[in-house]
Amino acid sequence: MTYTNFTVETDAEGLALVTWDMPDRSMNVFTEDALRELDAIIDDVTKDEAIKGAVFTSGKETFSGGADLTMLKGMTAEFARLEAEDKDKAVAFLYDRAGAMSRIFRKLETSGKPWVSAINGTCMGGAFELSLACHGRVAADSDAVKMALPEVKVGIFPGAGGTQRVPRLANTQDALQMLTSGQTLAPKKAKSMGLITEIAAPDALVAVAKSLIKNGLKPVQLWDEKGFKLPGGPVYSAAGANLWPPAIAIARRETSGNYPAVMAILKSVYEGLLVPFDTALRIELRYFVEIMQTTEAAMMIRSLFVSLQELNKGARRPAGQPETKFTKIGVLGAGFMGAGIAYVTAKAGIPVVLVDRDMDAANKGKAHSESLVDGQIKKGRATAEDKGKLLSLITPTADYADLKGCDLIVEAVFEDSEIKKGVTTQAEAVIAKDAIFASNTSTIPITGLAKNSKRPANFIGIHFFSPVDKMMLVEIILGKKTEDKAIAVAMDFVRAIKKTPIVVNDTRGFYVNRCVLRYMSEAYKMLIEGIPAPMIENAAKLAGMPVGPLALTDETAVDLAQKIMKQTVRDLGEKAVDPAQLDLINTMVDKHDRKGRKNGKGFYDYPAKPAKKSLWPGLKDLYKQKKPEDVDIEEVKQRLLVTIALEAARVMEEGIVVDPREADVGSILAFGFAPYTGGALSYIDGMGVKTFVKLAKTLQKKYGADFKAPKLLQDMADKGETFYERFDPYNTTPPQKQAA
């Protein structure tokens, strides 16, 4: 039989090689067609008496990324449609569709013939669950081979047998760690856990897989044999008694109850290990269907799976522009930001010229890359050869003439308009007329900076976040005269260095910083009200934020917050900044010299390692403290999230961001806005705009005009709209046509 997505070849010894190689795709993924074909292949192999066993592998450089996002989108969309008509019918549909993969994999492992998975590259999600259903698993001995069940990161969990097979192959503690964190495994780690059978040289992968069958691999899984014992011991045992209570406590500590999928994993494993395997699969499916119906899963799937992939593929890139193949990038300024930009550029294999005022400064910038690679080598994530290759791509210089031939210049000098003007003029004197010039600025409007350029059409903002090597988001900021070519080149660069781009129109603070400043500002207000600092920071973490607002202020520098406030007063007048908040920051910086982590003291004290940071005890002396029992911790959590969400809504209302995908993904990647919500706008959509507006009004009555809902939200509430209906991301205006 002929298949579209697979080929089946049987050798003289009766061993079938099933090769997954989807046409017109760079990576194999599970689609409905692929699943149907796989189901048929299992039937054909089972029925063919000439076939003694089968090896499953990939015809591409990687094995598979798991489920196709369009299949997942279609499933959730159809469920939503059916739910509006008949909830029971919708749930039945979800049970049937969600359970299809699990049924096919169970058919494979009970077919009576041995199957071996030959894993030659990335093997994620459902693809790894397929491999676990095979009777043997061989992984290529290569850094390119990564295996994981990462579903929990998008609000769901492995629902095709993953929660049942992993703890039957590995000890329970390791299984829970892997499942609840989405941990990625290299071949050696996977083998040590018992999840793969062999590691083979890449060119001998299929041969080793076939040899397992020829050497008598049983066509029966361990858990289907009589007398099977769990690697980690029974649930009701001394080992189980020592594992399960702390496992549950740790999960609650790490998630604050915000991620239903994590608790569902624990329940699936716990209950599943008490019963026969087929019953365990039904338990897993029950919880999977339950989780698929949660708001958290819907929002996380949309933002962290679907939207993230779409943005990474250039969903907002102007049409009709040729893709840029970069031959050389210029970076102006070898300070911390510029050095970081040079590092990620070289890491992407692109030659980079790093310019500073003198060679000492430029060499110091290159040394930053060397230190980063050295850190990777210590962790076993890079080699001396990798280091040599990366450093060979960075050319430090004090001569602007070395910028000749650059496709793109990224200016990353000190945040001062005059300094930026000077380096722009010097660079434009030597670069080609069609080269693109980008400014990495976090506060200065791009339209104003573009006035320093002789070609404002080719001038654009590329706002990186610190530290550049770790932060995955980049804001691309459009000036009033920025044209399509500059947008396309900027996006191509951001994608080339494996960051996620969002397109933002020009305004003070752009998008991310406007939201972050609101988050910090609300914390300052709370301190002034007398809410104890530990309650503010803990409430933020309970709300799902990775870093409390006071800790975040320390990281970005308290004196920077002071500079921003003072500059805002100079630009917009005294009413633009709350005088009580300015007084707080002035007191911190001017009276107590507490500038943040950079000088070892801010809202926190930073002792020498290994001691951990702790909140400065003096904070409680700045304002009269409320008793903890007089503070509504739920309201504190709401204030911190709502103030950010309101600012995101204002940004959409003003046309600064026009695509809700960018607002949501940007808020999560830039400052960790409670990922379980799906992002700042999905937080509103998830609870319903009408409910959110009511909450905002309640907070406004108690805490002032900062919580006033913009007219956009009022209008959406009246019409029963969501952001993804009002601002349809699949019919958005091209970037260059947005209102500036």
Provide the annotated active-site residues. 463
Secondary structure element (H or E) that encloses residue 476, with its range: strand 473-478
The rounded distance, in Å, linking the Cα atoms of 356 and 332 is 6
Residue type for position 52: K
Nearest to 506 by CA among 473, 480, 475: 480
Residue that is written with structure tokens 């609101």 in the block = 518
C-alpha torsion sign, points 193, 194, 198, 203: negative
8 A C-beta contact, residue 444 and residue 415: yes
Q: Which tokens is 329 given?
A: 């990038």
CB 497 within 8 A of CB 473: no
3: enclosing H helix or E strand: none
Spatial contact of 469 and 340, defined as CB atoms under 8 Å apart = yes
Give the Cβ contact number of residue 196 at 10 Å. 26
Q: E strands within 305-375?
A: 329-332, 352-355
Helix (H, G, I), strand (E, B) or coil at 129: helix
Whole-Å CA distances, 419 to 188, 354, 415, 424, 477: 51, 17, 8, 9, 20
Which residue is it, tokens 């071996």?
Answer: 116
Q: Which two tokens stand for residue 151?
A: 């579903």
Residue in 5, 25, 27 with CA at minimum distance from that of residue 122: 27
Residues in CB range of 124: below 8 A, 6 or more apart: 64, 65, 66, 146, 147, 148, 149, 150
Which helix (H) or strand (E) segment is 9 a member of?
strand 6-10
Q: What is the DSSP letter of 142?
A: S
Paired tokens of 590: 């001017």
Element (H, E) at 502: strand 500-505
Contact 104, 38 (CB under 8 A): yes
| 183 vs 179: CA distance, rounded Å | 7
* C-alpha span between 517 and 509 (Å, rounded): 9
- CA-nearest of 552, 523, 513, 527 to 640 is 523
Is residue 254 a contact partner of residue 676, using CB atoms and an 8 Å limit? no
Instruction: Count Cβ atoms below 10 Å from residue 281 Cβ, excluding itself.
Output: 24
Rounded Cα–Cα distance for residues 59 and 577 (Å): 60
Q: In 3D, which of 652, 349, 321 has the Cα closest to residue 458?
A: 321
Q: CA-CA distances (angstroms) from residue 275 to 268, 269, 281, 284, 568?
A: 11, 10, 10, 12, 64
CB 703 within 8 A of CB 635: no
Paired residues of 123 in beta bridges: 64, 147
Q: Which pair of structure tokens corresponds to residue 224?
A: 């289907």
Residue 61, token pair as written in the block: 């450089």
Please give the Cα distance from 186 to 148 (Å, whole number).
Answer: 9
**324 to each of 317, 329, 407, 508, 539, how far by Cα in Å?**
12, 12, 9, 30, 45
DSSP 541-607: HHTT-SS-HHHHHHHH-HHHHHHHHHHHHHHH-GGGS-HHHHHHHHIIIIIT---BGGGTBSSEE-P
Sign of torsion over alpha carbons 468, 469, 474, 476? positive
What separation in angstroms does the CA of 639 have from each of 549, 642, 684, 698?
12, 5, 13, 11
